[in-house]
């Protein structure tokens, strides 16, 4: 049975990586890239108003662009004054296993840790790929509180 696994990362545990092609995304300037990425993943593209609302709620995105296409994207959510979350990590199946998600998540995590003391993320316990990405970057399983 799967359950949610929560992770946190701090400056003293973070291990960043970089890769060419990883960059911040602009929902206005990169609208065509984002729309195509959603369509490639079988999801209805967002509207400009929808993106503006998402940004107003504190979300920002980065991605890996190759051959004019967005191959991987992830975001962060500014949900509190001392911790922001790494969220919405997604990589096209055709480029998985190349370290792209790790590089995108690294860019975001580095930004989070320059802004607040703690980065967090969560995934389902059966998502081995995301667990590997988190652990490569220095995320540790978050302490659990007794029920």
| 28-51 pLDDT per residue, tens | 888 888 888 888 878 888 888 888
* Whether the predicted model's global pTM rises above the 0.85 cut: yes
Tokens of 27: 């929902």
Give yes or no for a contact between 139 and 9, defined as CB atoms under 8 angstroms apart. Answer: yes
- H/E element, 86: strand 83-91
Out of 3.40.50.410, 3.40.630.30, 3.40.30.10, 3.30.2130.10, which CATH number does the structure's domain 4-141 have? Answer: 3.40.630.30
> What's the pLDDT at 18?
86
- Quickly tell me which residue has 């959603």 as its tokens: 38
Rounded to an integer, the average pLDDT of 110-120 is 97
Give tens-digit pLDDT for 51-102. Answer: 888 888 888 999 999 998 999 999 999 999 999 999 999 888 888 999 999 9
Going from N- to C-terminal start, the domains of the chain cover: 4-141
Of 89, 76, 95, nearest in space to 127 by CA: 89
Q: How many other C-beta atoms can be found within 10 angstroms of the C-beta atom of residue 45? A: 14
């Amino acid at each position: 049975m799967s359950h949610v696994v929560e992770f946190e990362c701090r400056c003293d545990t973070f291990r960043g990586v970089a890769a060419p092609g990883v960059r911040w995304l602009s929902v206005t300037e990169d609208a065509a890239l984002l729309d195509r990425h959603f369509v490639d993943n079988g999801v209805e593209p967002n509207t400009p108003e929808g993106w503006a609302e998402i940004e107003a709620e504190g979300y920002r995105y980065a991605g890996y662009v190759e051959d004019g296409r967005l191959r991987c994207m992830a975001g962060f959510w500014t949900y509190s004054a001392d911790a922001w979350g790494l969220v919405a990590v997604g990589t096209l199946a055709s480029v998985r296993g190349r370290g792209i998600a790790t590089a995108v998540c690294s860019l975001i995590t580095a930004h989070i840790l320059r802004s607040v003391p703690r980065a967090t993320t969560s995934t389902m316990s059966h998502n081995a790929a995301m667990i590997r990405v988190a652990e490569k970057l220095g995320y540790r399983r978050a302490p659990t509180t007794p029920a």
